[in-house]
Amino acid sequence: MSSVSSLDSESGQHSDEEVPETLTDENVNVSLTSEHSPVNGFILLQKARLPGALVNVVGVVVSYTPNRKSSGTDYTCSLTLVDPSIPNNVKGISVNIFRSRKEHLPDLSVGSIFIGKHLRINTFHETTQLVATKEESTFKVICDVANQNQQFPFNMRQHAKEIMAYANYLRRWCASLSNPKVGNYTSITSSRQRRRIEELSPHIFFDLIAEVVMVYPTENAVDLYVTDFTENKRLGNREYRTNTPYGLPNESILQITLWDEHAEDGEDLQIGTFVLLQNLHAKINTNGDLVAALHGDRELRRKKINVLDKNDVEIAKLIRRRNAYYEEHQNSLEYHERDSSPELESDATEQSITRIKCNNNIKLTDIDDIKDCPEPVGLFRTRGRVISVIPSNFEDFSRPYCHRCNKIMNFAEYENCTQCFKKLKVFKYDFGLLFEDELGAGTLPVLITNEDANTFLDGLPPVNLYKNPMFLQKLKDRMHKLLGNVLKSQASCGPLIDFCVMSYEVEDECNKFIRIYKMFDTILED
C-alpha cells in the first residue's frame, strides 16, 4: 500500500494563510503549516491533495447522506468532514464509503468524529474526495468522546490514545468557535437562493431546509413530502396528498419528486428528519399544484440531500416556526390525543385485529429486516399499524385502467387514457398505506393494487367511487376498522395487524433498480 507521508502539493485550492497558524488545546497541538495531524501517521484534511494516494484522516462530520444501494452490488453512504485546516468558507471534504452489506456502513450523526485509515484520494470534476473501499479501508465513528472505552479496529489500536485526545480537541474546537462549521454547514453560500415554501413560485431553482413528513416510493421515483411551517396557496389547489401530521394544511406541505440517484438517497429518510435539499426545480403539475423535482446526473453525481442536525443554526428558525404552530393549535392537538387514547380504542383495536386474515405459514419478520433484505424478491409476513394513507380521498382509491397501455390513471375523473387516448371503462384499486412497527421506529410504505387489492377488499369490486356512493360508504366502513383515527390526524394510528408483503425490484426509466413493497395474500374482512 502507498505510504501516507508528504502529500503536500501546490495544486491545493486553499493556502495556509487562510487559517490561523497554530491551534493548541491542552496536550494537543495542531500545526497548520505541516501536513501532519496530532495523530501519528495521519494528515490534516486540507493536505489530502495527491490523487491516488492512500491517507489516514480524522475529522468532524458536518453532514451525511442516508445509507443506500449503490449502482453496483455494494451499499454506500457519503459524509462531509472538517478539521481546523479547512477554511470557514469551505464546506469540507467528502468521504464516500462502500461496503458489501448495509449494516457494515457507519452509524453517523452530525458532530461525531470520523477516523478513516487507507482512504484513497480521488479528484472528481476538480473537487477532492476520499473513497473508502471495502478492500482497503477501515473506519471508526466516535459519537461520545467522553466514553474512553472505545473499541478500535486492529490497525488503529496503537494510536487509540492519540485519537481520543485529538477527538476531544476537535469537539472543544467546534464548541469554541463563534461560527462553528459543525451546526453551520447550511450557511455555506450557494449560487441558488435558499427559499422558504411561502416564497416559492414556478420555474425557479432553489435550495430548501425542511422537515420530512412522509416518504413514499413509487415505481420510478420517490415522492418526498416536507414542510418548513410556512404556507403557499399554490400548494393547496387539490387535496390529493396523504393526510398531514397534526392537521397541517396542504398549503404548508411541498411534494418533491426525487429521481435517479436522489431517489436512492431519499428512500431511507425518516419522518421528522431535517434536511437541506439543493437544486430543486419548482413547477406546476397537471393538476395545477405547485410541486418540485430533483433530477439526477448520470455523469456527475453530487450529494443534494443532506441530513442536518437539530443543533444547526438554520434549523433553530424552523423549530421556532414549528413550536409556534403547535402552540397555536394546542387545543386541536389535545383533541387528537384524546381521540387516539388506548382506553377509547382498545375494543375496536381487538375487533379489527380479528378481521385481518393473512398467510400465517410465512415467518414473521420485522419491518427493518424486510428493508435490509438484499434479495431481488422476498415474501414476508410482518406486523405494523397504519400511520398514513395515500391518496387521502377514498374516492381516489379506485381509478380508471387502460388495458392497451397497462396503466392505471392518476386521477379517477379521467375518461380517456393519457397515452393512447382510448376510452376508459375499467377501474382498478391502487392506493398505499404507510405502516410503522410496534416500537414506532421503522416504517414501510406498502402498495395495494390490482388483484392483490381485490383480495384485500374481498367483495368490494373496483368501481368509479365518485359515482357509486353505496360502494364508497362500504369501502369507508371497512377501511375504518384498519385506519382508526388516522384520517383525522396523523397523531393517531390504526390497530396493530399482521399482513403479508412482497419486496421486489423494478427498473425505472433510467435503468436503475428501485425497491417496491406490495401487499399480497391479505384480506380485510367485512
pLDDT tens across 487-501, in order?
554 444 667 888 999
Give the percent of the chain with pLDDT over 90.
Answer: 18
Name the amino acid, one letter, at 487. L
Express each pLDDT in 208-240 by its tens digit. Answer: 999 888 887 776 788 888 999 888 988 864 444
Domain ranges of the chain: 16-184, 193-328, 341-524
Question: Residue 30 pairs with which residues in a beta bridge?
Answer: 23
Separation of CA 390 from chain center? 18
Give me the phi and psi of 142, to 5 degrees please.
-110, 110
Considering only the top CATH level, what class is 193-328?
A: mainly beta
Question: Is 193-328 in the same CATH topology as 16-184?
Answer: yes
Express each pLDDT in 452-486 by its tens digit. Answer: 999 999 888 898 898 888 888 889 888 887 886 55
| Whole-number pLDDT of residue 428 | 93
Which band of pLDDT confidence, cut at 50, 70 and 90, is reported for residue 96?
very high
Express each pLDDT in 295-337 by its tens digit. Answer: 876 444 556 788 887 666 667 778 888 877 766 665 444 433 3
d(CA 169, CA 27): 9
Report which DSSP code applies to 11.
T
| Whole-number pLDDT of residue 313 | 64
User: Once rounded to an integer, what is the mean pLDDT over residues 370-397?
Assistant: 87
Burial of 453-467, coded b for 16+ CB within 10 Å and e otherwise, reads: bbbbbeebebbbbee
Which of the listed CATH numbers 3.30.565.10, 3.90.1150.10, 2.40.50.140, 3.90.850.10 matches domain 341-524? Answer: 2.40.50.140
Q: Cα Rg for the chain, rounded, in angstroms? A: 26
DSSP string, 29-61: EEETTSSB-SSTT-B-GGG--STT-EEEEEEEE
d(CA 48, CA 513): 34
User: Once rounded to an integer, what is the mean pLDDT over residues 347-363?
Assistant: 57
Cell of 157: 489500536
Pairing type for strands 522-524 and 356-358 reads antiparallel
d(CA 111, CA 133): 23
Question: Residue 385 pairs with which residues in a beta bridge?
Answer: 436
| Whole-number pLDDT of residue 419 | 86
| Whole-number pLDDT of residue 332 | 46
CB 133 within 8 A of CB 117: no
At the topology level, CATH places domain 16-184 in OB fold (Dihydrolipoamide Acetyltransferase, E2P) (2.40.50)
d(CA 13, CA 31): 19
